[in-house]
């Protein structure tokens, strides 16, 4: 059927006056519209992270040092640590005219989040972009970020501790992000939206402040990523932007910078982030996903054997990951914090 219709489209293109081109394009749209609809529906299915086709890959350093930014006036018997995560989305090879439309990050942790950056509104009263610096301040027992222009005086406040976060505020009317607390205060979310001035691909730093015990040594946070992208992948001559949802998740190990045994803590975090058994299970899962994709066509889905292969590989990965998490927390004496 497709061959006959395509041949007819070629004949129509040869008609004089350009009328044939219009008719041929209309015919191609009628032929491929159902296939495009199937593509859109299939791309937005709610697969578990790690089980769907990888349209966008998000990577980040898997081990980070957490700076102690506890203000000197803070009387609570705990520390405030600053974690700066640097997730970096990129497109998989072969995509053309691809754009990330929205990008969501959710950070899950075992400890209370007291503040985060960037905040919901990034617009300013300035007419142009402006570099800002941040500090961590305490007022009436509440810890929070203080954001000020690079020439401002907030850094000189006696109750503030210098932060490692720097970024650029945008001119007025640009609200590109919503952010807030999540998971009953033990997490934070960040929702980025694209506009015609910015791209969501590439590195985006996000920071959180955690309240941890005085004797804290190290732990991990889980970064969950989701979003939507569009890509011109229509067959033949039909030009349509097809939207796809994507999601992923991974753990980031962190340790307290400046601790007496920080070198050992770093080595332990490296071992958690580069677990060979977990890496082998992840590679096995990726291979199962590729086999499933190769066994999926325009008009038919993968076989039960291929689907079961992905599910079994995912179950094996999840089991090994949970074991690694438990052992890492036990080694850092944080296994009782849940």
- Above 80 in pLDDT, residue 255? yes
Q: Which residues contact 291 (CB under 8 A, 6 or more apart)?
A: 306, 309
Same domain, 108 and 233: yes
User: How many domains would you assign to the chain?
Assistant: 3
In a domain, 270, yes or no: no
Cβ-count burial of 272 within 10 angstroms (0-12 exposed, 13-18 middle, 19+ buried)? buried
Distance of CA 260 to the CA centre of its chain: 33
User: How sure is the predictor about 124, in pLDDT bands with cuts at 50, 70 and 90?
Assistant: very low
- Range with the poorest average pLDDT among 19-33, 39-53, 274-288, 319-333: 39-53
pLDDT of residue 193: 82
Tell whether the model's pLDDT for residue 121 goes beyond 80: no
* Mean pLDDT of the chain, nearest integer: 75
Query: Is position 134 within any domain?
Result: yes
Name residues whose C-beta falls within 8 Å of residue 290's C-beta, 6 or more positions apart in sequence: none
What are the pLDDT digits (tens) for 45-57? 344 555 556 778 8
Classified as helix, coil or strand, 252 is strand
pLDDT digits (tens, 9 = 90+) for 208-237: 999 999 999 999 999 999 999 887 655 544
Least confident of 119-128, 279-288, 313-322: 119-128
Residues 6+ apart with CB under 8 A from 111: 186, 210, 211, 212, 219, 337
Q: What was the pLDDT predicted at 257?
A: 92
Task: Determine the structural domain holding residue 34 and report its residue range.
Answer: 1-43
Q: Are residues 71 and 33 in the same domain?
A: no
Token pair for residue 104?
Answer: 């969501």
- Chain centroid, CA 212 distance in Å: 25
Question: What secondary structure, in 3-state letters, does 87-144 show?
Answer: CEEEECCCCCCCEEEEEEEEEECCCCEEEEECCCCCECCCCCCEEEEEEEEEECCEEE
Is residue 32 domain-shared with residue 67, that is, in the same domain?
no
Q: Can you tell me the distance from the alpha carbon of 155 to that of 310, in angstroms, rounded to the nearest whole number?
A: 52
The beta strands (E) that lie in the chain are given as 56-59, 63-68, 78-85, 88-91, 99-108, 113-117, 130-139, 142-149, 160-169, 177-181, 187-193, 206-213, 218-232, 241-256
- CATH number of residue 153's parent domain: 2.70.240
How far is the C-alpha of 294 from the C-alpha of 25, rounded, in Å? 29
> What pLDDT, on the 0 to 100 scale, is given for residue 136?
72
Report pLDDT for 125: 44
Domain identity same for 155 and 90:
yes
On whether the CB atoms of residues 102 and 191 are closer than 8 A, the answer is yes
Calculate mean pLDDT across residues 7-14: 48
121 Cα distance to chain centroid? 20
Q: Tell whether 23 is covered by a domain.
A: yes
Question: β-strand 241-256 against 218-232: which pairing, if any?
Answer: antiparallel
Banded pLDDT at 327 (limits 50, 70, 90): very high
CA dihedral 121, 124, 128, 130 (to 10 degrees): -80
Of 141-155, 239-253, 260-274, least confident by mean pLDDT is 141-155
Distance CA 133, CA 142 (A): 20
The predicted model gives 187-216 an average pLDDT of 86
Q: Confirm whether 266 is domain-assigned.
A: no
pLDDT tens profile 267-289: 999 999 999 999 999 999 989 98
> Residue 99 pLDDT > 70, yes or no?
yes
Question: Residue 21: which pLDDT band, with cuts at 50, 70 and 90?
Answer: low
- pLDDT for 147 equals 63
Do residue 181 and residue 324 come from a single domain? no
Question: Where residue 294 falls among pLDDT bands split at 50, 70, 90?
Answer: confident
Cα distances from 14 to residues 6, 17, 46, in angstroms, run 13, 9, 45
Q: Which of 33-42, 74-83, 178-187 has the lowest mean pLDDT?
A: 33-42
Average pLDDT for 201-207: 86
**Residue 102 · residue 227 · CB < 8 Å:** yes
> Based on C-alpha coordinates, what's the Rg of the chain?
25
Q: Which residue has the higher pLDDT, 84 or 299?
A: 84
Q: Compute φ and ψ for 324, nearest 5 degrees.
A: -65, -40
From residue 69, how far is each of 160, 209, 264 by CA, in Å? 9, 9, 21
Q: Say yes or no to pLDDT of 61 above 70.
A: yes
What is the rounded distance in angstroms from the CA atom of residue 215 to the CA atom of residue 212? Answer: 8
Whether 198 and 312 share a structural domain: no
On whether both 3 and 26 belong to a single domain, the answer is yes
In the structure encoding, which two tokens stand for residue 285, read together?
């899962």
Please tell me which residue, 140 or 239, carries the higher pLDDT value: 140
* One domain for residues 157 and 236: yes
Nearest to 61 by CA among 251, 226, 208, 227: 251
In a shared domain, residues 199 and 59: yes
Does residue 218 sit in the same domain as residue 232?
A: yes
Do 59 and 3 lie in one domain? The reply is no
Task: State which of 160-164, 244-248, 257-261 shows the largest mean pLDDT.
Answer: 257-261
CA–CA distances in Å: residue 30 to residues 36, 37, 202, 304? 10, 12, 37, 32
Between residues 317 and 119, the one the model is more confident about: 317
Nearest partner of 122 among 197, 215, 187, judged by Cα: 197
Q: For the residues 175-179, what does the mean pLDDT come to?
A: 70
């Amino acid at each position: 059927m497709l061959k006959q219709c395509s041949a007819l489209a070629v004949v129509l293109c040869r008609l004089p006056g350009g009328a044939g081109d219009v008719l041929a394009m209309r015919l191609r749209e009628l032929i491929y519209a159902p296939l495009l609809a199937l593509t859109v529906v299939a791309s937005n299915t709610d697969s578990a992270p790690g089980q769907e086709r990888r349209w966008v890959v998000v990577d980040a350093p898997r081990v980070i040092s957490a700076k102690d930014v506890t203000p000197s006036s803070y009387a609570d018997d705990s520390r405030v640590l600053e974690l700066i995560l640097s997730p970096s989305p990129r497109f998989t090879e072969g995509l053309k005219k691809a754009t990330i439309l929205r990008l969501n990050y959710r950070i899950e942790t075992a400890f209370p989040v007291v503040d985060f950056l960037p905040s919901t509104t990034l617009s300013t009263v300035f007419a142009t972009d402006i570099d800002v610096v941040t500090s961590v301040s305490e007022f009436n027992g509440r810890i929070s970020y203080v954001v000020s222009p690079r020439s401002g005086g907030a850094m000189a406040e006696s109750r503030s501790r210098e932060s490692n976060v720097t970024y650029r505020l945008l001119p007025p009317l640009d609200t590109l992000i919503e952010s807030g607390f999540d998971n009953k205060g033990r997490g934070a979310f960040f929702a980025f939206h694209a506009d015609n001035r910015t791209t969501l691909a590439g590195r985006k730093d996000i920071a959180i402040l955690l309240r941890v015990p005085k004797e804290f040594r190290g732990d991990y946070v889980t970064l969950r990523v989701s979003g939507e992208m569009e890509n011109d992948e229509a067959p033949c001559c039909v030009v349509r932007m097809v939207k796809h949802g994507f999601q992923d998740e991974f753990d980031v190990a962190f340790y307290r910078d400046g601790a007496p045994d920080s070198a050992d803590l770093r080595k332990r975090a490296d071992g958690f982030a580069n677990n060979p058994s977990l890496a082998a299970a992840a590679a096995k899962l990726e291979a199962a996903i590729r086999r499933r994709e190769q066994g999926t066509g325009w008009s038919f889905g993968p076989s039960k054997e291929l689907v079961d292969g992905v599910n079994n590989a995912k179950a094996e990965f999840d089991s090994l990951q949970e074991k690694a998490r438990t052992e890492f927390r036990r080694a850092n004496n944080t296994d009782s914090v849940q």
